[in-house]
Amino acid sequence: MEKSLLSDKTVNSEGMTVESRYNPPKGYRRIQTEKGSFAQFLRNQKLKPYGEKALFYNGQAKRSEGIYDSVIDVEIGNRDLHQCADAIMLLRAEYFYSRKEYGKINFNFVSGFNAEYSKWMEGYRINPKGKGNYYKKTASSNTYKDFRNFMNIVFAYSGTISLEKEMKPQTIENIQIGDVFIMGGSPGHAVIILDMAVNNKGEKVFMLAQSYMPAQQTQILVNPDRSMGVWYSLKNKDILVTPEWKFPLNKLRRFQ
């Protein structure tokens, strides 16, 4: 196990959620979140035991030093599907699935086709050829396996290009938990704001999570500025620098 970059005052190695494992930096307090909100859902994500590696879809481990400090406990299967945008879409979909708000689980393919889980539940399946269409194949069902099968086809035909287009641009001043820095492309990249804290001056710091290529479990990123641990600040910065990507600040987006 590679040694964490973080001090004992910052990380609680026994904590098994984002909130219980990581303390805000000195002088900061976590922002309040509404009960049942997407922000609260992200903050309460279950983590793998501290020190465990992120696994690729083939079961091999990804080195952690200089990249990530913890891993979200997510099953990604054995296909090269769960990459950067996919991890973010899965978090969003898992939130709605946990709340039984199935009609809100829908994502656009790169082709423009809107994949709706509510249709999938009714037994329809998706022909992705051309502009895409639904066809009736099976009886209605809404098991977790059905949900993940739906997400697998979303992973296969959606990506940073389509996800960026369906999200709303945000200013850095209005940044909040659940927002996404995303650059659509082949390859592109995306990271999601997992948690946030603020000081008495109103200055915000935040945590980031990502998957990457090839498909891998979602990780909590360390800040290349090692004095910040897993927390990021944009004070006096015009670019967000993460371990494996750089984002212009105008690439901040929010789910609509």
Tokens read off for 136: 């009736």
DSSP 42-92: HHT-BBPPTTPPEEBTTSPEEP-TTTEEEEB-----SSTT--HHHHHHHHH
pLDDT at 100: 98
Please check the confidence at residue 5 and state whether its pLDDT lies above 50. no
Distance (Å, rounded) from C-alpha 19 to C-alpha 108? 31
Please check the confidence at residue 184 and state whether its pLDDT lies above 70. yes
pLDDT digits (tens, 9 = 90+) for 86-135: 999 999 999 999 999 999 999 999 999 999 999 999 999 999 998 899 99
* SS3 call for 97: helix
Distance (Å, rounded) from C-alpha 51 to C-alpha 31? 27
Query: Which value, to the nearest 10 degrees, does the dihedral of the CA atoms of residues 230, 235, 237, 243 take?
Result: 0
First to last CA, the chain: 40
Q: Which residue has the higher pLDDT, 10 or 174?
A: 174
Contact 181, 191 (CB under 8 A): yes
Tokens read off for 226: 């090692």
pLDDT at 10: 82
Ordered alpha helix ranges (H), the chain: 18-21, 38-43, 84-98, 117-121, 144-157, 160-166
Q: Which residues pair with 219 in a beta bridge?
A: 71, 210
Which candidate, 156, 146, 165, places its Cα nearest to that of 105?
146
* SS3 call for 93: helix
From residue 236, alpha-carbon distances to 51, 77, 208, 247 in Å are 32, 41, 19, 15
Residues 6+ apart with CB under 8 A from 32: none
- Percentage of the chain modeled with pLDDT above 90: 93
Q: Which residues pair with 17 in a beta bridge?
A: 46
Which candidate, 93, 58, 81, 56, places its Cα nearest to that of 71?
56
Tokens read off for 51: 């020190």
Element (H, E) at 30: strand 29-30
What residues does each domain of the chain span?
17-256
- State residue 128 phi and psi, 5-degree precision: -80, -5
* SS3 call for 219: strand
Distance (Å, rounded) from C-alpha 99 to C-alpha 156? 25
Whole-number average pLDDT of the chain: 95
pLDDT at 152: 98
* SS3 call for 246: strand
Kindly indicate the confidence band of residue 6, based on its pLDDT and cuts at 50, 70 and 90: low
pLDDT digits (tens, 9 = 90+) for 220-256: 999 999 889 999 999 999 999 999 999 999 999 999 9
